[in-house]
A and B are shown apart, each in its own frame.
Chain A
Amino acid sequence: QKEVEQNSGPLSVPEGAIASLNCTYSDRGSQSFFWYRQYSGKSPELIMFIYSNGDKEDGRFTAQLNKASQYVSLLIRDSQPSDSATYLCAVTTGFQKLVFGTGTRLLVSP
């Protein structure tokens, strides 16, 4: 069974802090890694994708990938209350299905 594991949270951080969200995956054949944000009652919204080991930055977001450890993370700098949502990690072995984790709920307090 190919799994994606995330701590369900909630992860509570004060406004302006760095939020660090983590994800592990079991399938070593996974090729592409995605972070989605999902507000309550809404659909997943793509934030970041990463394919190669290392860091990838996009604005306040940084995705980190370590294939040897089968570990993906998302850092959110200068967290805002509007960042409060559930963050979903998803992986794929090709151009096909996404396998999602259960998500980590992030709460950013003003």
Chain B
Amino acid sequence: EPEVTQTPSHQVTQMGQEVILRCVPISNHLYFYWYRQILGQKVEFLVSFYNNEISEKSEIFDDQFSVERPDGSNFTLKIRSTKLEDSAMYFCASSEPRGQYFGPGTRLTVL
């Protein structure tokens, strides 16, 4: 069964460094998303992406964040200058009309 994949599974970085989180959505899906979940808190929407552009973004998704689909398969989330409060699980999702399917996540730890 096709699934969303994400790399790396765990990323440790120093505050102020740039990180790129990578995702391969399910191949025939057209909508892609990033969510994050801070430990013990709810899953929060960051951004949705369709037809090679951002279709919606949350207040969390400020100028430090960007997304890109550099080729036909990958979908990336870049955080330009990480802060301590960016430490969280980051989930990529892709969707069909019946729902969004989540990848396994990348645990980002900012020191």
Contact = CB atoms under 8 A, between A and B. Distances in A.
Interface of A: 32, 34, 36, 42-46, 49, 88, 90, 95-103
A19 B90 CA distance: 30
Query: Counting chain B CB atoms within 10 Å of each CB, which of A32, A46, A88, A99 scores highest?
Result: A46
Contacts of A100: 42-44
A24 B10 CA distance: 34
Contacts, number: 51
**Which secondary structure characterizes the binding site on chain B?**
strand
Given A45-B102, A88-B43, A100-B44, A95 B95 contact: yes
B33 A97 contact: yes
Given A34-B99, A96-B55, A42 B104 contact: yes
Interface of B: 31, 33, 35, 41-45, 48, 55-56, 58, 89, 91, 95, 97-105
Contact of B31 (A43, A44, A88, A95): A95
B48 A97 contact: yes
25 contacts: A34-B100, A36-B102, A42-B105, A43-B89, A43-B102, A43-B105, A44-B91, A45-B102, A46-B100, A46-B101, A49-B99, A88-B42, A88-B43, A90-B43, A95-B31, A95-B97, A96-B48, A96-B56, A97-B33, A98-B33, A98-B43, A98-B100, A99-B45, A100-B43, A100-B44
Shortest 8 CB-CB contacts between residues of A and residues of B:
A97-B45, A43-B102, A100-B43, A46-B99, A102-B42, A49-B99, A43-B105, A44-B102
A104 B43 CA distance: 13
B107 to A, nearest CB: 9
B102 to A, nearest CB: 4
A2 B63 CA distance: 24
Given A34-B99, A44-B91, A44-B102, 10 more contacts: A42-B104, A43-B105, A46-B99, A46-B101, A90-B43, A95-B97, A97-B48, A97-B58, A100-B44, A103-B42
